[in-house]
């Protein structure tokens, strides 16, 4: 009798956990990249360049939801997660995908979104599977790319900085070099540099002064940061 009670409890807890992950993180127990398209059959494009080329302008959040559904095979969640799902931004729509795919989807979405909409890679989670990381791909309203930081609730309270400080620095970078914000969460923001700084060591020193984690918890040395800026131009603070 005790064994049967234990089995029943285990099944009940397992079912609750799956429902919780589905409701809070958009997870159904399978990798989103392995799912079928709505109505059956394999997802045909995975956000390939030819898909974006034929898509046209995405003008409304409803249209964006249809695209997210096509890309992921999921019904978009009516929110974006903030701080590991402790809170939600219900102005946005989101789906989960493997982290490796998230940024490429964001690049495609950003090229196709009409005025008044923004897209970004948001909260990341292993969903209990340490070898497979997944990330939200989010679309929401916004006059410009800086709305992404507001949607994600990004701050740096561990360094005594609020969201306004982060926005001021990002806008300064944008004025000097041009940036394209691609990802944001409650404790990080990632962007492409449109133009490389003339003085890369000075720029990297500015990055490190503003966010020491870019080296200390990132690339490990100023030399590596300079090479990253020079060769790749993608920065995560």
Domain ranges of the chain: 1-143, 156-237
What tens-digit pLDDT sequence spans the chain (237 residues)? 554 544 444 445 444 444 444 444 444 444 444 444 444 444 445 567 888 888 899 999 999 999 999 999 999 999 999 987 789 999 999 999 998 889 999 999 999 999 999 999 999 886 555 556 899 999 999 999 999 999 999 988 777 889 999 999 999 999 999 999 999 999 999 999 999 999 999 999 999 999 999 999 989 999 999 999 999 999 999
pLDDT in tens, 134-192: 999 999 999 999 999 999 999 887 778 899 999 999 999 999 999 999 999 999 999 99
Instruction: Tell me the torsion sign for CA atoms 30, 35, 38, 39.
Output: negative
Angstrom distance (rounded) from CA 45 to CA 55: 12
Nearest CA among 101, 179, 92 for reference residue 140: 92
Angle at 117 between CA 113 and CA 120, to 5 degrees: 85
Angstrom distance (rounded) from CA 233 to CA 226: 9
Global pTM? Answer: 0.80
Contact 185, 133 (CB under 8 A): no
Angstrom distance (rounded) from CA 118 to CA 84: 21
Under DSSP, the state recorded for 215 is I
Position 130 scores a pLDDT of 52
């Amino acid at each position: 009798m005790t064994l049967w009670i234990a089995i029943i409890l285990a099944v009940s807890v397992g079912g609750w956990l799956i429902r919780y992950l589905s409701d809070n993180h958009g997870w159904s127990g399978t990798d989103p990249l392995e799912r079928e398209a709505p109505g059956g059959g394999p997802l045909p494009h995975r956000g390939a360049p030819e898909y974006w080329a034929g898509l046209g302008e995405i003008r409304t959040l409803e249209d964006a939801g249809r695209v997210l559904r096509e890309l992921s095979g999921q019904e978009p969640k009516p929110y974006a997660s903030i701080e590991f799902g402790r809170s939600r931004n219900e102005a946005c729509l989101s789906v989960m995908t493997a982290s490796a795919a998230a940024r490429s989807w964001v690049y495609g979405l950003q090229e196709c979104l009409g005025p008044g909409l923004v897209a970004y890679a948001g909260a990341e989670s292993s969903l209990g599977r340490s070898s497979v990381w997944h990330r939200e791909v989010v679309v929401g309203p916004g006059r410009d790319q800086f709305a992404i930081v507001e949607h994600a609730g990004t701050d740096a309270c561990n360094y005594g900085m609020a969201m306004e400080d982060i926005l001021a620095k990002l806008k300064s970078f944008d004025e000097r070099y041009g940036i394209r914000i691609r990802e944001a969460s409650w404790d990080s923001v990632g962007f492409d540099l449109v133009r490389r700084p003339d003085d890369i060591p000075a720029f990297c020193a500015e990055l490190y002064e503003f966010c020491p984690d870019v080296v200390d918890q990132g690339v490990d040395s100023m030399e590596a940061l300079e090479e990253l800026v020079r060769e790749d131009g993608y920065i995560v603070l």
